[in-house]
C-alpha cells in the first residue's frame, strides 16, 4: 500500500516547485491616462514589454535601459501587415520560451490588448473559409470569432504558465444598458472575449486616476463596486484592501510573494 504521508509530501513538493504557483498574473484595464502602462515601472524586474500600440512605448521611455526594463516595439510597426506582426510576435514568444527567457524574467507584459487582439484576428482571417461565410472583405465571420476565442485561451494560459509575472494591459469600454439605462463598464474587446478573458487571470485590476488635494492619486481597484469589474485571488488572504496604490512589487510583498 502507498504511504499516504509520503505521497502527500511529494504532491506538496511538486506544488512548491511549480513556477506557476510562484508567479503573478494580472489583467489591468482602465481609461487612457489612468496609469496602466506607467504602472509597469513597479513590476518585478527585469521587465520585458511587448508593445503593440503605436507610440505606446514612449510612456516609459526614460527608464528603458535594456537591462532592468526593455521594450520590444517591433510590434508597433506600421510597415508590416497585422497578420505579419502576428507571425513575428508568435515566433518571438516561441524563441523566448525555448531559451528559458520567460522563466528567467521578472515580468513580461503585453501593451495593449486592444491592438494585440486586432493583430490576432487579422491572422485568424487568413484562414480560408467556405465561400460566402465572410460576407464583406475585412469583416470577421462568426467562425473567426470562435477560432479567435480558442487561440486567446491557448495563448493566455501558456503566458501565465511561465516563471515570470505576466501582465496584460487593456482598455475600458463604457456602454449604456438599453434596459436599465445605466452605464455598463466593460473590457474594450469583442463581446465574445469580454466574458472569456477575465476567467484566464488570477488578478483583474481596474486602474483609477483620482484628482485630490495632493495631486492625482493612482490606484488599482481589486474588488467589484457595481460600476467596474475587478477581483483578486491574492486579496483572499485579507492582506489587501479593495483599493491599493499602483505598485505591483508592493502587492507581491503584502501577500508574501517575494
Contact 72, 48 (CB under 8 A): yes
pLDDT over 90, % of the chain: 60
DSSP 225-252: -SSS--EESGGGGS-S-SEEES-HHHHH
- Give dist(CA 36, CA 39) in Å, integer: 5
CA distances in angstroms from 63 to 15, 69, 177, listed in the order given? 36, 7, 42
pLDDT of residue 243: 95
Cell of 258: 517575494
DSSP 22-64: T--EEEEEE-TTSSTTGGGGGSSSSEEEEE-STTGGGGGGGG-
DSSP, collapsed to helix, strand or coil, labels residue 108 as strand
- Domains defined along the chain, listed by start: 24-254 (3.40.50)
pLDDT digits (tens, 9 = 90+) for 35-87: 999 999 999 999 999 999 988 878 888 888 878 999 999 999 889 999 999 99
Amino acid at each position: 500500500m502507498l504511504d499516504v504521508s509520503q505521497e502527500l509530501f511529494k504532491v506538496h513538493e511538486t506544488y512548491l516547485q511549480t513556477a506557476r504557483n510562484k508567479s503573478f498574473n494580472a489583467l489591468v484595464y482602465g481609461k487612457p491616462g489612468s496609469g496602466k502602462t506607467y504602472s509597469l515601472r513597479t513590476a518585478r524586474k527585469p521587465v520585458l514589454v511587448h508593445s503593440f500600440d503605436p507610440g505606446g512605448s514612449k510612456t516609459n521611455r526614460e527608464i528603458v535601459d535594456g537591462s532592468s526594463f526593455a521594450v520590444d516595439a517591433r510590434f508597433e510597426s506600421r510597415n508590416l501587415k497585422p497578420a505579419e506582426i502576428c507571425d513575428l510576435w508568435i515566433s518571438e514568444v516561441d524563441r523566448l520560451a525555448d531559451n528559458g527567457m520567460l522563466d528567467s524574467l521578472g515580468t513580461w507584459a503585453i501593451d495593449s490588448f486592444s491592438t494585440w487582439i486586432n493583430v490576432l484576428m487579422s491572422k485568424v482571417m487568413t484562414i480560408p473559409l467556405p465561400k460566402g461565410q465572410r460576407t464583406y472583405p475585412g469583416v470577421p465571420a462568426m467562425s473567426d470569432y470562435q477560432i479567435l476565442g480558442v487561440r486567446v485561451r491557448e495563448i493566455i494560459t501558456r503566458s501565465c504558465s511561465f516563471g515570470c509575472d505576466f501582465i496584460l494591459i487593456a482598455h475600458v469600454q463604457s456602454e449604456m444598458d438599453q434596459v436599465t439605462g445605466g452605464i455598463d463598464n466593460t473590457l474594450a474587446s469583442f463581446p465574445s472575449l469580454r466574458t472569456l478573458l477575465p476567467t484566464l487571470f488570477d488578478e483583474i485590476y481596474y486602474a483609477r486616476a483620482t484628482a485630490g488635494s495632493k495631486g492625482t492619486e493612482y490606484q488599482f481597484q481589486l474588488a467589484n463596486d457595481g460600476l467596474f469589474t475587478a477581483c483578486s485571488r491574492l486579496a483572499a488572504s485579507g492582506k489587501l484592501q479593495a483599493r491599493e496604490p499602483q505598485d505591483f512589487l508592493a502587492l507581491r510583498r503584502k501577500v508574501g510573494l517575494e
